[in-house]
Amino acid sequence: MANFNAPANIAETVISTVGVKKCQLSFVKVMLLGILAGAFIAFGAELATRIMANVQDPGIAMFLGGSVFSVGLMLVVIAGAELFTGNNLILMSVMGKETTVGKMLTYWLYVWIANLLGSLLLVWFMYQSGLVSGVVADKAVAIAKMKAGLPATQIFFRAIMCNWLVCLAVWLALASHDVVGKIFGIFFPIMAFVASGFEHSVANMYFIPMGMAIDPSAVPMAGLIKNLVWATIGNIVGGAGFVGFIYFTVFGKCSVPAPKK
């Protein structure tokens, strides 16, 4: 027996089991697990902000920020939660005719809203804690201003590359039979996307509102909306398109020839 799941086996699991079960979750469960996922990603985001604020070298700061940010997806995958970006892989279940487009889109909408609520919950907690002060507060505002000020085209393409890596992190986690393997499978793609400066819609649900909470005049609401809209669209293209669609085409049921009679 192989010590990991082969790509074809992962594809079959996502198509026939993972995507189907997620679309069958009740509204209450989706919302609760989605709120947890938003909070988990926000934990990674606040830790990355704190680390990057206290490291002088920009390259090392980005690497360390990406490294600690990965704890967010580890919590989502291993502890259990529903994250919009990783669940773009549900497209594979739709392509395999195991669920419908309507169910997928409804699920995505509920999870996206729940992720936003979870992220904002952490913004409130962190603001009330007094821990976001000094250089950490300055860094949080700088991150928010940078992300909100990006042109839509840049947000879109950065978001494509981001969720390409995030969904690959989920894919690698599914390849492993043990927790340690899942941690390593998640760590490297997530570290890579953060250190590269890509755009993650759910992470930005924390990063930008946190900066706005510290300095309301620093980021206009229009900047937050622009970022989340284009980051969400780009994330769908990167995750559902470049991972879900391609891997279904290569490893999914439609790629298996029908048996000869």
The amino acid occupying position 73 is: L
Instruction: Assess if residue 261 is contained within a domain.
Output: no
Instruction: Assess if residue 167 is contained within a domain.
Output: yes
Residue 174 near residue 86, CB atoms below 8 Å: no
pLDDT for the residue 253: 66
CA 261 to chain centre: 45
pLDDT for the residue 4: 87
Query: What CATH code is carried by the domain that includes residue 148?
Result: 1.20.1080.10
pLDDT for the residue 252: 84
Instruction: Assess if residue 126 is contained within a domain.
Output: yes
Question: Measured between alpha carbons, how far apart are the two ends of the chain, in Å?
Answer: 31
Instruction: Assess if residue 260 is contained within a domain.
Output: no
pLDDT for the residue 258: 41
224 Cβ contact list (under 8 Å, min separation 6): 148, 208, 209, 212
Instruction: Assess if residue 19 is contained within a domain.
Output: yes
Residues of the domain holding 59: 7-252
What is the tally of structural domains in the chain?
1
pLDDT for the residue 1: 54
Residue 227 near residue 150, CB atoms below 8 Å: yes
Instruction: Assess if residue 162 is contained within a domain.
Output: yes
Number of Cβ atoms within 10 Å of the Cβ of 160: 21
For the chain, the residue count is: 261
- CA–CA separation, 174 vs 167, rounded Å? 11
Instruction: Assess if residue 180 is contained within a domain.
Output: yes
* Residue stretches of the chain with pLDDT short of 50: 256-261
pLDDT for the residue 240: 98
**DSSP single-letter state for residue 78:** I
Residue 40 near residue 81, CB atoms below 8 Å: yes
Which has the closest alpha carbon to 38: 255, 202, 177? Answer: 202
pLDDT in tens, 120-142: 999 999 999 999 999 999 999 99
pLDDT in tens, 91-101: 999 999 999 99
